[in-house]
Amino acid sequence: MKILVVGSGGREHALLWKLHRDAPSADFFVTRGNGGTGAFADHLPLDPGDVGGIARWADGAGIDLVVVGPEAPLADGLVDALRQRRVPAFGPTAEAAAIEASKVFSKDVMRQAGVPTAEYAVFTDAGAAAAHIRSLGAPIVVKASGLAAGKGAIVCDTEEDALRAVDAMLRRHDFGDAGQEVVIEEFMRGEELSVFALSDGRDVLLMTPSQDHKRVGEGDTGPNTGGMGAYAPVSLVDGDLMHRVREEILLPTLDEMRRRKRPFTGLLYAGLMLTEDGPRIVEFNCRFGDPETQAVLPLLASSLLEPMMAIARGGSARDLGLEWRPGAAVTTVLASGGYPAAYEKGREIHVPHDLEREDDLLLFHAGTVRRDGRLLTDGGRVLAVTGLGPDTAEAARRSAAGAERIDFEGRQFRRDIGWRELERAGAT
């Protein structure tokens, strides 16, 4: 069997790690890759955004399954191009990927499907957006409609913050094309939750829920990032809540996507807010989250490859199941100095040789590259250290201790990943 993973970040490293465990005799390939993926896959000199090049290569190489990690190639039609060549691909078509690529489209789907979400309004004119903000007050949420690498949603504590966000998107064009349309939403109170759903277009196979830490600073302070850490599972979640997520949010959304002749197959990510009135959607993504994937997949005891392959070949998820190992996982992200603002690349990374040989500790590479025998930083989020333990407290201790042992100039990471869960358990 030949498997290609598209992408080169921490999420893709985690996917390769898991799929290799499911099929150790398979041949694996990855586009570009990073400083850690070479342990599992051959690196291809293809950019993850090279839709035509990837489709031609996969066809010619006889690839049995393509797993697309990032959202941009999905929105650009990589799955469409692969299907035209009859190459099985796990992921949505470009039309279905609009559920993430356009927040305006996504909110309209939610409204038509009757899915609980925040009240919202859409603007292309900065003056009109500013007037709307002043009429509602703060806190309030300002979102760039298009893809913005996980940084397009800005939670604004004051009207001034919201007005600055609108100026950045609609006047200064800091977000490029992604910010040409702006969605302004009511602020929802509660805890956020990430739920991954393997979708065949009609039904879903739910994965264990996780919680992401978006803010760069401890105690969830500072600007939003692509994610500074995650943990799973989440004790707030029980079977009744997951049933509601499935029946009130995911299945109605899939029904509405089919009604629009945009059936969604692949990984549907539901970013939820657990409010006093129940779960409400913050956003949908069309792919695995990063860094939640690095926390969720190490807990998956059964095969990920089996349901992925079934869905990619047009099969049903209805009769499939997932099994989970007991305990918890906590992932700590090590980032470059200055991230999420400007940062420098090329800093040498020092990882203890025995780090990954320790029990229940995994290292996933994201923004790294190997050059002249050295491991160097090559991105904002550099590494993810996942600790596994019988409970969140022990997993968090192992994750933070592992992160502390890795060194590079400017290194930053949060030492409080999972703090809400630890407070609930009385472990802090």
**Which domains, from first to last, does the chain contain?**
2-93 (3.40.50.20), 119-186 (3.30.1490.20), 191-312 (3.30.470.20), 328-425 (3.90.600.10)
0.75 exceeded by pTM: yes
CA-wise closest residue to 395 among 334, 328, 295: 328
297-324 pLDDT per residue, tens:
999 999 999 999 999 999 998 888 999 9
- E strands, 140-200, in order: 140-144, 153-156, 182-186, 191-199
> What is the rounded average pLDDT of the residues 194-209?
97
| pLDDT score recorded for residue 150 | 66
Beta pairing partners, 268: 197
Q: Which helix (H) or strand (E) holds 376?
A: strand 374-377
Q: What are residue 270's DSSP bridge partners?
A: 195, 284
| Residue type present at position 258 | R
C-beta of residue 40 within 8 angstroms of C-beta of residue 15: no
pLDDT tens-digit series, residues 281-292: 999 999 999 999
Three-state secondary structure string covering 198-234: EECCCCEEECCCEEECCEEECCCEEEECCCCEEEECC
For 286-373, where are the E strands, in sequence order? Answer: 328-335, 361-365, 368-371
pLDDT tens sequence across 17-32: 999 999 999 999 999 9
Mean pLDDT computed over every residue of the chain: 95
* Alpha helix ranges (H) inside 10-146: 10-22, 51-61, 71-75, 78-84, 94-101, 103-113, 126-136
**In this predicted structure, what is the pLDDT of residue 179?**
86
pLDDT for position 147: 82
Asked if the model's pLDDT at residue 428 lies above 70, the reply is: no
Q: Residue 321 and residue 316: Cα distance in Å, rounded? A: 11
Instruction: Pick left, alpha or beta for residue 108 (phi over 0 → left; psi -120 to 50 → alpha; otherwise beta).
Output: alpha
pLDDT grade, residue 224 (50/70/90)?
Answer: confident
Residue 115 is classified by DSSP as -
Closest CA to 218 of 421, 15, 21, 415: 415
pLDDT at site 356: 76
Give residue for tokens 């490293």: 13
Q: What is the pLDDT of residue 320?
A: 87
Q: Where are the beta strands (DSSP E) in 237-365?
A: 266-275, 278-285, 328-335, 361-365
Q: Taking the CB of residue 240, how many other CB atoms lie within 10 A of it?
A: 8
Q: What's the token pair of residue 217?
A: 């600073």
